[in-house]
C-alpha cells in the first residue's frame, strides 16, 4: 500500500540522477507521505535530499519523521542544514528533536541554533526544562495572543501576523495581561463578531487549564472528557506558557496504550520501538519480569514436593497438575485484565470491590463447573481412572477457577488502593500466584475425596 515500497528502488536511482525532478514530484504530496518515503531511504540519501530543499519546505517533512530516523539523519547531515531546518520547525516538534538527540549532539546544535535563531533556541529550553511526559514537555509555544484587552479587529491582526509565521492550528486567541491569562476568544467569534467588538465582552474562561507538571496521560483524560481541541498550560502565577493541541494527545494515547499493553504482557515498557531498543536494554526489560515470575514459580515445585505423599499415592495425579493450575491462571488473567482496564478507563473504582467480588465469584462458579464437567469426562476417557479421581479433578477445577477469578479481580483493586500501579498485577503475575494456590486446592480436595487411597499409600510426612 505504501508508495515507498512500490517506488523505493526506482526512487533511489532518480534521486541520484535528477533530484530536482523528485522534488517536484514530492511537492504534490502531503509532507507526511514524503516523510514516509524518506523513512525508507538510507539516512545519507534522506539527508542529502532534505539538505537540497529550502529549510521551510524541509522542516514540515523532517518534523514528521520518526525520532530514530531524525537522529540518524542528523548524524550525517551538515550541522548548518540541521539548524536551518530546526529553526523552521514547529516549537514542540523542535523541542522533541533536541530531546531525542544524544545530549552532546543536542547541546552543540542548540548552541548553533542560538546564533542563527535565538528565539527558537529559547523555546527549546522553555519546553525541554519540563519532565519528559509532562504537559510542559508536550506543549507548543505557537499560539496567538494579544497582550491586553482590545477589540476583535486587533485580534484578527494578531491572527494574520501569526499566520504569516506558522502553519500551526489556531483554535483560540489568548488574551493576556502581563503574561497572565485573562481569557480566550475562539476563532469562530472572530469570524462572527463586528471588528469593533471589545474582546472583554466575548472572551471566556477556558474550560480547563493544566499545570506544566501535569502528566500527559492526565492531560489526555481531561481533553477527552471535555471534548477539547486545545488546552492552555499555565503556571502557578497563571502565566500562559503554551498550549497543548489534540493531535499531540492522539499520539500520547497511542504511546500510553503501547505501555499498558507491554505491562499486561509482562514486559517493562520500552522507551523506543521494538527494533530501536538495544539488545541488552531489551534483555533487562524482559529479564527482570521473567526472573521474578520464575522465582514465584519455584513455589509450585516446593508445594508439589511437600505434598508428594498425596501426588504419589494417586497414580497419574501429578500429570494433571499443569492442566489444572493453568486453568486457574487463565481465568485469573481474564479477571485481572478486565479490572485493570476498567480502572484505567475509570469505569471501575476501588469502592466497587464488593460488587466485583460477588460477580467474579459467581462467574468463577459457573465457568469452573463447566470446565469441571469437561475435565471429568476427560479423566473417564481413561478406563483405568476411578470416578473418585474424576470427581477430584472436577471439584478442583471449580475451586481453582473461583479462586483464580477472586485473586485476579481483587489484586488490581488492592494494588490501586495502596497506591501501586494496578497493571503490576498483570496476567502472568496472577498466574504465577494462583499456580501455587491451585496445587494446594488440588491436594486438599484429593485428601478429602480420595482419603482411603491416600491413607493406603506411603507413610505421610
Question: Which among 258, 251, 253 is positioned nearest to 276, based on CA atoms?
Answer: 258
| Strand 172-177 with 180-186, pairing | antiparallel
Among residues 16, 180, 188, 417, which is the contact residue for its own copies, using CB under 8 A? 188
Task: Compute the least distance from the CB of residue 438 to its own copies, in Å.
Answer: 9
Is 226 or 387 the residue whose CB approaches its own copies more closely? 226
- Alpha helix (H) ranges present in 18-151? 19-27, 31-39, 43-52, 55-62, 67-76, 79-88, 91-100, 103-116, 118-128, 135-138
Q: Cell for 225?
A: 472528557
Among residues 78, 148, 347, 458, which is the contact residue for its own copies, using CB under 8 A? 347
Choose the stretch contacting its own copies; rule: CB under 8 A; options: 42-50, 119-127, 248-256, 448-456.
Answer: 248-256
Task: Compute the least distance from the CB of residue 49 to its own copies, in Å.
Answer: 21
Does 7 contact its own copies by CB under 8 A?
no
Does 206 contact its own copies by CB under 8 A?
no
Among residues 96, 425, 428, 453, which is the contact residue for its own copies, using CB under 8 A? 428
Among residues 227, 456, 459, 461, which is the contact residue for its own copies, using CB under 8 A? 227
Interface of this chain with its own copies, residues 30 to 89, rule: CB under 8 A: 30, 32
Among residues 37, 77, 338, 400, which is the contact residue for its own copies, using CB under 8 A? 338
Q: How far apart are CA 150 and CA 196, in angstroms?
A: 9
Q: Cell for 410?
A: 481483587
| DSSP-assigned beta bridge partners for residue 180 | 177, 239
12 contacts 41 by C-beta, under 8 angstroms: yes
Is 113 or 244 the residue whose CB approaches its own copies more closely? 244
Task: Compute the least distance from the CB of residue 52 to its own copies, in Å.
Answer: 25
Residue 253 DSSP one-character state: H
Task: Compute the least distance from the CB of residue 257 to its own copies, in Å.
Answer: 5
Does 345 contact its own copies by CB under 8 A?
yes
373 contacts 398 by C-beta, under 8 angstroms: no
Question: Which among 88, 87, 96 is positioned nearest to 65, based on CA atoms?
Answer: 96
Among residues 107, 111, 218, 247, which is the contact residue for its own copies, using CB under 8 A? 247
Interface of this chain with its own copies, residues 95 to 114, rule: CB under 8 A: none
The site for its own copies, by CB under 8 A, has a size of 105
Does 417 contact its own copies by CB under 8 A?
no
* Binding-residue pattern over the window 441 to 460 for its own copies, x denoting contact by CB under 8 A: --------------------
Among residues 267, 415, 449, 453, which is the contact residue for its own copies, using CB under 8 A? 267
Q: Cell for 388?
A: 473418585
Interface of this chain with its own copies, residues 148 to 187, rule: CB under 8 A: 156, 159-160, 163, 169-170, 187
Question: Which among 414, 413, 400, 259 is positioned nearest to 330, based on CA atoms?
Answer: 400
Q: How far apart are CA 151 and CA 174, in angstroms?
A: 13
Among residues 20, 279, 354, 418, which is the contact residue for its own copies, using CB under 8 A? 279
Does 254 contact its own copies by CB under 8 A?
yes
176 contacts 145 by C-beta, under 8 angstroms: yes
Among residues 18, 78, 294, 452, which is the contact residue for its own copies, using CB under 8 A? 294
Residue 459 DSSP one-character state: P
Does 281 contact its own copies by CB under 8 A?
no
Task: Compute the least distance from the CB of residue 305 to its own copies, in Å.
Answer: 5
Does 355 contact its own copies by CB under 8 A?
yes
Using alpha carbons, list the distances in angstroms from residue 254 to 17, 26, 229, 425. Answer: 40, 28, 17, 22
Among residues 116, 374, 448, 458, which is the contact residue for its own copies, using CB under 8 A? 374
Does 358 contact its own copies by CB under 8 A?
no
CA atoms within 13 A on the CB side of 301: 5
Does 142 contact its own copies by CB under 8 A?
no
The three-state secondary structure class of 145 is: strand
Does 286 contact its own copies by CB under 8 A?
yes
Q: How far apart are CA 131 and CA 432, in angstroms?
A: 35
Using alpha carbons, list the distances in angstroms from residue 459 to 166, 309, 312, 319. Answer: 85, 7, 11, 22
Amino acid at each position: 500500500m505504501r508508495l515507498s515500497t512500490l517506488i523505493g528502488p526506482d526512487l533511489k536511482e532518480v534521486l541520484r540522477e535528477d533530484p530536482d525532478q523528485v522534488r517536484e514530484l514530492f511537492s504534490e504530496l502531503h509532507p507526511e507521505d514524503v516523510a514516509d518515503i524518506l523513512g525508507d531511504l538510507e539516512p545519507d540519501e534522506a539527508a542529502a535530499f532534505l539538505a537540497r530543499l529550502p529549510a521551510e519546505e524541509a522542516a514540515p517533512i523532517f518534523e514528521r519523521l520518526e525520532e530514530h530516523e531524525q537522529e540518524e539523519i542528523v548524524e550525517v547531515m551538515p550541522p548548518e542544514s540541521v539548524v536551518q531546518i530546526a529553526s523552521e520547525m514547529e516549537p514542540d516538534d523542535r523541542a522533541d528533536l533536541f530531546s531525542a538527540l544524544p545530549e552532546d549532539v543536542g547541546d552543540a546544535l542548540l548552541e548553533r541554533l542560538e546564533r542563527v535563531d535565538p528565539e527558537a533556541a529559547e523555546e527549546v529550553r522553555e519546553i525541554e526544562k519540563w519532565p519528559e511526559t509532562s504537559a510542559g514537555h508536550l506543549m507548543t509555544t505557537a499560539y496567538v495572543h494579544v497582550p491586553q484587552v482590545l477589540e476583535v479587529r486587533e485580534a484578527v491582526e494578531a491572527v494574520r501576523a501569526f499566520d504569516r509565521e506558522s502553519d500551526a492550528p489556531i483554535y483560540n486567541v489568548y488574551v493576556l495581561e502581563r503574561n497572565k491569562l485573562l481569557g480566550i476568544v475562539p476563532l469562530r467569534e472572530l469570524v462572527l463578531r463586528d471588528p469593533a467588538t471589545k474582546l472583554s465582552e466575548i472572551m471566556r474562561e477556558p474550560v480547563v487549564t493544566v499545570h506544566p507538571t501535569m502528566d500527559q496521560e492526565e492531560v489526555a483524560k481531561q481533553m477527552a472528557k471535555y471534548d477539547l481541541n486545545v488546552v492552555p498550560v499555565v503556571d502557578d502565577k497563571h502565566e500562559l506558557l503554551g498550549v497543548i493541541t489534540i493531535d499531540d494527545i492522539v499520539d500520547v494515547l497511542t504511546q500510553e496504550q503501547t505501555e499498558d499493553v507491554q505491562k499486561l504482557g509482562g514486559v517493562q515498557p520500552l522507551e523506543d520501538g521494538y527494533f530501536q531498543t538495544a539488545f541488552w536494554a531489551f534483555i533487562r526489560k524482559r529479564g527482570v519480569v521473567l526472573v521474578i515470575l520464575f522465582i514465584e514459580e519455584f513455589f509450585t515445585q516446593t508445594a508439589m514436593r511437600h505434598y508428594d505423599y498425596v501426588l504419589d499415592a494417586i497414580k497419574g495425579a501429578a500429570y494433571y497438575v499443569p492442566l489444572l493450575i493453568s486453568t486457574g491462571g487463565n481465568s485469573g488473567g481474564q479477571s485481572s485484565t478486565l479490572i485493570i482496564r476498567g480502572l484505567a478507563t475509570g469505569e471501575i473504582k476501588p469502592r466497587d470491590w464488593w460488587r466485583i467480588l460477588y460477580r467474579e465469584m459467581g462467574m468463577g462458579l459457573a465457568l469452573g463447573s463447566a470446565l469441571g464437567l469437561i475435565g471429568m469426562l476427560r479423566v473417564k476417557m481413561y478406563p483405568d481412572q476411578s470416578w473418585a479421581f474424576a470427581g477430584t479433578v472436577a471439584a478442583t477445577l471449580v475451586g481453582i477457577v473461583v479462586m483464580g477469578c477472586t485473586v485476579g479481580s481483587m489484586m488490581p483493586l488492592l494494588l490501586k488502593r495502596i497506591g501501586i500501579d494496578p497493571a503490576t498485577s498483570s496476567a502472568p503475575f496472577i498466574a504465577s500466584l494462583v499456580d501455587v494456590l491451585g496445587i494446594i486446592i488440588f491436594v486438599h480436595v484429593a485428601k478429602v475425596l480420595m482419603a482411603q487411597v491416600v491413607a493406603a499409600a506411603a507413610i505421610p510426612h
